[in-house]
Structures are given as C-alpha cells and as structure tokens.
Structure 1
C-alpha cells in the first residue's frame, strides 16, 4: 500500500452513474489526488436495506454500475479496495431462499449460523446479556421455513443480514469464492467488514475472541497468497484497537475523528496528544466514512477508562448536534432507522459548524497523524448534511451519503475550502518527510506534529487559543510556509 491519500466512495453516489464514469472522474478532474479508492459495496444490489452491505449476490457487480471488467479497468489507474462482507449475507440471497424452501435438506443449511449451532439447548438470559451488541436488537431473528418450522438464525445487525457460519466448510467455501474473484479482477486491498463478530462461542461476548484473531489471521494469509492485503474494520474501545493492530496488517484509527472534534470544540488537545503517542502506526486514518462518527472508540467501556471522559463525550455529542443545527440529532439513535449504538450521524463539515478554518485544521491533523489517510467523498467536497435524503429514506446514515451529479462534483471543486483540502492532499502525497519519523508535542490549546526524514522536514503547528495554524516544510535548503487561515480564506480562482 502506498503512503498516499486514498478515496472512499460509493460508485453511483459520487460519479452520478457507474464504474466507467468514476474511472473518468478519477483520471480527469480528480487526477493525481488518490493512490487508491475504496469502492463501497458495488455488489448486487447496491440499494438493499444497508446500502450494499447486505449483498444478495456478493459475486455479482450490480449491473447498474457495470461489471468486473470495469473494476479491473479502474485498477489500472489506482489500487482498488473492496469489502469482503465476512459476517453475513442477505435474507434475499439465493442460498438463504433455498434454506427457507428446503430446510435441513438444503445444500446451504450449514452456510448460515443458527442459535442451535452455538446454544443447542437454547440461549439463557445471562448468556444473551454477555454478547456484545452493536445495535439494540436481539441477536437472533425467527424465520419460518416453507415446512412451517420456525428457526432462530443469528442476525448480528438486522433481520435482513443472516450471519454466515464461517467455520463450516460451506462458509469457508463462500468466502474463498469471493476472495478469488477479487484477486482475479484487480482488487489489491480488502476491508474485512464486521470481522470482529464472525466467531461465536457460548458464554462469551462473541466479539474479538482469541478464535476471532485466528480466523482473521488465516483469512489475511489467504488474501496474501492471492496478492492482496487486508484491513480489519472494528469499532471498539481504543485498547482493543491497539491489541488488534498487533495481530493484523492494518486497522482503522476510529478514535481520531472524535478526538479531533473534541480538540476543536473544547480547545483541548491533551486527549489527542495522548492518543497520538500510543496509537497504532499500521492504520488507516479517517475523519468521516459511510458510517457515522464513532464515539465508542474514544469513550470508556465498563470499568475501562476512555480517551475522553463520559462528560467530555456528552459535551462532544451535544456540540455536534448544536453545530449541525439539530440535524444530527434527527439522524442518530432511535430517531432514525438503521441505528447504531456508538455513532453520531452527521457530515464532518457540519459537525464543525461549517467552519472552513477548523475543517482544514482537522484535515491537516488527519494527514499528519501516523497512518495512511482516507478521505470520504462527502468530506472531499465539504458536503453539508443531506437532510432531504434523510427525510426521504429515514435511514440515519444517509444524512452523510449524498448523491452527487457530475455538475455538482464540478461546482463543489470551486469552493475555497475544497480547493484548500485538495492542496493539503497534494502536499501529503508529495512530501518525502511523511515516510520518516513522527513526533508530537504540545498541550492545552497548542499542538505540534512533525515528520522528519534525512534533510526533509514538515511540521503542523496549531494554537487554538489564538486560532492560528500553519504548516512549515523544508527539503534541503528549500523552505516553505502555509498559513491555514489564508488557505481557508483564499479567493476562489
């Protein structure tokens, strides 16, 4: 993986069309910005109940977007990252429909995980309480077979996402087929979606068990054999992320987004500096993604303290609601469908109150943090919350999943803050010091982040008390300075 900025995007929501259109966009208007693109689920169908994360056919590119040849064509210009949806498949998949029709006689009966597979005598209340839940629903959904028999299938997320028995030969074969298809069509990086929930054991949390690490390790080794690397996608307590990072290729730094928001809203960089001192170096850094802004990653868990205290978490969440004019409140928790217990749904630009200066500071901090940066397409264009889409779908995360036409993509690039962000992306991609050694210093309201390699150095200095931020860089005798205030207020060309 190149140490340069990557893009995260839905094919249709960014390009306004399909894979060939996205290919054209990345090789023309957005040329030179991104070394890789994470294509959010492009499998059939892209418009299921969870925006493609509930594939009916994980091996079929949605025909509305194109085909595998189009994916391969895009891979000739940048590395492709794709989701291996490890934990589940759609209740509308041919395999599960076959199970409903034929029950235990179905060839796919063992592909899907049932309550009886883990709890032959049925689950007790105490066992159910021990299971780590990403959402407030029960972990099983009763499905009625054609015979009239009712069976409790494991559904970690929604009743339309039926968990796969990844330890059974049928489950292993299912994942192998998808891996092979990825390798054959130019995919270089695999995001292991919801892999932390894949292994279940009675009398456990059924989340990130020792057996889960073994499973992820074996899956990663197989991907390596096929010429691909893997990313573990896990929202959890920050110490879990540190532990996971020691055992996988790369993880996401999901603690960074709330810590940056806290720093800018509370004028307090201490939690951020603490995290930058201990954070995994083998990570992808993000501020926003197709999901909401993770809170659990910076907060406490049980008797384990967090990077932020409960009161700081409460203040942070309220600041997001205030900065977004209450829109994030309408999209978060029980206020909207598809809810998550640990996320606030809001565009990052709105979470910062549409403050261009703060937005560029946030991106600069991300780009200077250890790891490979990813920029979400809505964040690239500093998009506001899509309140109309939320109102239409009543899916909380749609508030930050806008559909952009080619005309909108072009016009948004004329915004000063977007031009400033693109300038920061180019700087992050080109400066050799980012391949060197990292240091962080400061405290209270001031922060300095420095990268050094031989005679090259680049530093970000932020003073929230005086509301100043600048980047100074040197390569040999060539020195430059960039004031982020000027960058945020520079007249559009």
Structure 2
C-alpha cells in the first residue's frame, strides 16, 4: 500500500465542526471538499480530554463515545486515507490495568505491562546510568506510586506522572499493542503514526532514546502493520543527521527541520540552510509547518557536539523573532510560562509566528508543498486561526494556544479570508499536478531559490523565489498546457 501524494489534513475530531466523526466527515465533504487526500485524526480514544489531550488514553481500543465509534472511523476511511496515533510508549494512570496494579501490586496480572526503574536498572541503579537518560520534558523521569501493602514503586513516566510507560517487550506489552493495531486495521486506518516510539526501549548505560534496539522494535511494528495493510510514520525530534538515518530504516518520517528553516529564510532572506537540508533530507517523509505540538527547534540545532543546520545565534534570533511577531503571546505559552511543555518547542500558531503576514504565510506553504514529501496541513493553519489566548488562559497548557475549538460558523467565516482562499487554491494546484510524482531538484544563487519537479510524462512544476523581495512565481506544465501564477495574486 502506498499513500496518495496529496495534501493531508491534521485535526482533532472534536475541534473541527460539531465535535464528532460523522460531522467532521461532512465538513471534509462540504466546506473542505476536494482539498485533502487524507486526514490525520488526532487521538479519538477514551477519553479525548485527559491531561494530554488524548495522548494519555485510559482505553486505547475504544473510541470516545462523544465522537462516535469504530464504525464511524471505518466510514471515514472508506473516503479518505486515515492516519491514527498509536501511542506506543505509555498509557494513562487512570487505566483499569494500572489501577489494578495499584491495588494488587506485583501480583496483578497487569504488573508486567508497566515499566519501573528497578525493571530496567535493578535494585541499585547507578547515578551515571540515570544521568544519561534523555529527557524531553522538565518533569521527573520516574513517579512514585503506592501499591499493595503500602509498597512504593518507581514507575517510569517519560512525559507526565499520568502517562505510565509500557514495557513494550513484555508479552503483556506486545499483546496490548497488537490489539490496538488490529482495531486500526478493521477500521480502514491506512497509516499508523507511532507516537513517542523513540522512547519505548530502555537500556542501562544508554540515553534510552532511539537505540539500535528501538529501530528493531519499530521495524517489528512496521512489519506487523504491513501484514495488516498499513504503514507506519515515526515521530522523532532529533538532530537532522539522526532523522536522515532513521528514514533509511522506516516507512515514513516527519520533516521537522522544515518549519524553522522556512522561518529562517523568511526572516533573514538567507536560503542556504534550507538548500543544505534539501541536499540530504529524506524523500520518504511527511512535511509539516504546524501540528498539535509546538514549533520544533531541536531539529535544526546542534546535538552532542555535532553542528546543526542553524547555529545557536540564528536559533536565538529565530525564537526572539517569533516572540516579537506574536506580540509576546508565544512567550506566555512556552517554557516555564505554561504547564505541560516540551523543552525544544515554541508554542505559537505558524501564522502568528510569521506576524500574521498573509504573503509570508502563503510563501511558507508554497515552499512546504514544493519540498520532497507528502504535505500535511494542521486545521488551525488551514484556516489562518490566530493564537487562542482565551483557551491558554483557561487551561494554562502552552500548546492550547494552537488548539482552538472551531464550529461550522467559524470555519465558514475563515474560509472567506483572502489568505485562506489563497491556501486552498495552492492546495488544489499541488494536488492536481502529476509532476510531484517525479523527480525533485533545487538550485540556489544570490538572487533566487528554485524548487522544481519533473515527471516522465513531461509534467513539470516550479517555484521560483526572488530572495531580494521574497516574491515568488509558480509555473506548471500538465498535458502540454502551461500555467503560471505570481504567488501574491492568489491572495486577491
């Protein structure tokens, strides 16, 4: 099975339209008709409103009944390629399995399902081993829970104390993940996004992140998915060389370096870092500018002594520009300013990160669509929604600044904005050109950056960016018919 090379949508089911799978399907077939080849439905399991917006499932095999059921997922999958999150690394502390462990301790049949410090490091772990563990968040790596008879257990909690890490190599862990995969297959899911898979394997003496054993584990999952007619997309934030190496071993990876590199180009008119990345970037990738998480920075930075695609000063300038463009709103949602944040991301809508500049935003999308990979567009970015400060103030969860609840009236209103109309036209141009099934090339000089595609059927597509004033021209040849557009004309 291969994914169609069309633009895909990323969205929460309950935040786009009336709040359930059936109505979201109607939105895709009406207001958003002919725009998307597929949809990444962010966690729709029970419950969708946990402490991490669905990424801490109590029951991963149950659709939250407020959204519908597996039949609704199957119906959606009959019309669109559906991507679903397989939360590989952890499950909720409120799950029946973990609650049984709290009551029965090591005698619980579910005790083998969860990881503890002692299971990995033994009774007397060395300080050096513990210090090597890579931390994606400022929260503790282990959380203490009192189990049967008052005994204290140190459960592994990579992300939050409500997300208990699974022992994925145990019989119980394998059975748990197999059950989820079977549910997906039966419900017409085409692509599995392996959430936090890089943290799933823990090993003493290592940093417990993207080990050789992790690659083996991911390959095992990919083989199981393939046997059921699905593919796997691996979600990893890391140094760009690591991402290139990962891509050689998996079906699909994200191009997380692209969002900050495009911003750097737009802020400085310097295209060399992007051009360098395009020399080596994976071709088996999914491209994004915005997602349900923040704007990643680690993907272009240095790591373990290896230089990044941007130097420290450029990254600092990039982050400060985002804060300035958003009038300080991103600062209120990032770092210690709000809870449940990652150490390597800036929380802000991509539109506001560019200063709500329609021309710059449309150019950022054009670059994304012309770079190698299958493009995904987040629902907030599709509709040009700005930072949701009211939701941020209500929840004090940094990423909620970019996770608004949009009803149909709001959707229809935003679809009338020039920048959204322009983006929708750009999506259709990308979808309708067979050139993107062919070969990619790029060139750079002091005056312009050119991204081009050509196919054996003689179809061609080209994006030419003038680096002096950031104007851009799009040219397409399809069935011997040629058409061209000045990018800013799409805003009219």
> Offset at 1:128?
1.7
1:17-45 per-position Cα deviation (integer Å, ceiling 9, x unaligned): 20010011111111111111000000000
Aligned to 1:52: 54
Report the Cα offset of residue 125 of structure 1: 2.3
Give 1:199's aligned residue.
201
One of 466, 488, 492 as aligned partner of 1:485: 488
* Native 8 Å contact 2:459 2:480 kept in 1: no
Alignment pair present for 1:269 and 2:254: no
After TM superposition, give the deviation of residue 212 of structure 1 in Å.
0.3
For residues 190 and 307 of structure 1, the distance between their equivalents in structure 2, rounded to whole angstroms, comes to 29
Classify the secondary structure of the residue corresponding to 1:15: coil
Distance in 2 separating the partners of 1:5 and 1:227: 21
Which residue of the other structure, out of 155, 160, 182, is the alignment partner of 2:184?
A: 182
Q: In the alignment, is residue 313 of structure 1 matched against residue 311 of structure 2?
A: no
Of 78-87 and 453-462, the range deviating more from structure 2:
453-462
Q: Which residue in the other structure is 2:441 paired with?
A: 439
Question: Residue 149 of structure 2 aligns to a residue in which SS?
Answer: coil
Q: Is the 8 A contact 1:267 1:464 kept in 2?
A: yes
CA 1:259–1:445 in 2, change beyond 3 Å: closer, same or farther?
Answer: farther
5+ residue gaps, structure 1: none
Of 128-137 and 468-477, more deviation after overlay is shown by 468-477
Q: What residue number does 1:376 align with?
A: 378
| TM-score of the two chains, using structure 2 as the length reference | 0.98
Indicate the SS of the match to 1:362.
helix
- Asked whether the equivalents of residues 223 and 229 of structure 1 are also in contact (C-alpha less than 8 Å), the reply is yes
Q: TM-score, normalised by structure 1?
A: 0.98
Correspondence for 2:411: 409
Partner of 2:362: 360
Q: Which runs of 4+ in 1 moved over 4 A?
A: none
Q: 2:459 aligns with which of 456, 459, 477?
A: 456
Aligned to 2:350: 348
Q: Distance in 1 between matches of 2:111 and 2:478?
A: 62
Q: Residues 252 and 291 (structure 1 numbering): CA distance in 2 closer, same or farther, change over 3 Å?
A: same
| Paired position in structure 2 for 1:167 | 169
Cα distance change of structure 1 residues 404 and 445 upon mapping to structure 2, 3 Å threshold:
farther
Structure 1 counterpart of 2:476: 473
Please say if residues 269 and 470 of structure 2, whose CA atoms lie closer than 8 Å, have aligned partners that are also in contact.
no
Q: Give 3-state SS (helix, strand or coil) of 2:469's partner.
A: coil
Contact 1:273-1:443 at 8 Å conserved across structures: no
The 8 Å contact of residues 473 and 484 in structure 2, kept in 1 or not, is answered as: yes
Query: For the Cα contact (< 8 Å) 1:18–1:66, is it kept in 2?
Result: yes
Counterpart position of 1:12: 14
Select between 250-259 and 127-136 the one with higher mean Cα deviation: 127-136
Greater shift, 331-340 or 456-465, is seen at: 456-465
* Whole-Å separation in 2 of the counterparts to 1:437 and 1:125: 51
Q: 2:127: which partner in 1?
A: 125
Equivalent of residue 118 in structure 2, options 113, 116, 137: 116
Q: Is the Cα contact below 8 Å between 1:16 and 1:403 reproduced in 2?
A: no
SS at match of 1:482: strand
Equivalent residue for 2:293? 291
Aligned length: 489
Q: Is the 8 A contact 1:27 1:77 kept in 2?
A: no
> What do the CA deviations read for 1:116-137 (whole angstroms, capped 9, x no partner)?
1111133332212211110122
1:270 and 1:444 in contact (8 A); partners too: no
- Residues 115 and 122, structure 1, Cα contact 8 Å, conserved in 2: no
Partner of 1:40 in structure 2?
42
Aligned residue for 2:298, secondary structure, equals: coil
Which residue number in structure 2 is paired with residue 250 of structure 1?
Answer: 252
Gaps of 5+ in 2: none
Once the two structures are superposed, what CA deviation does each residue of 1:361-416 show, in whole Å capped at 9, x if it has no partner? 00000000000000000000011000110010000000000110110001100000
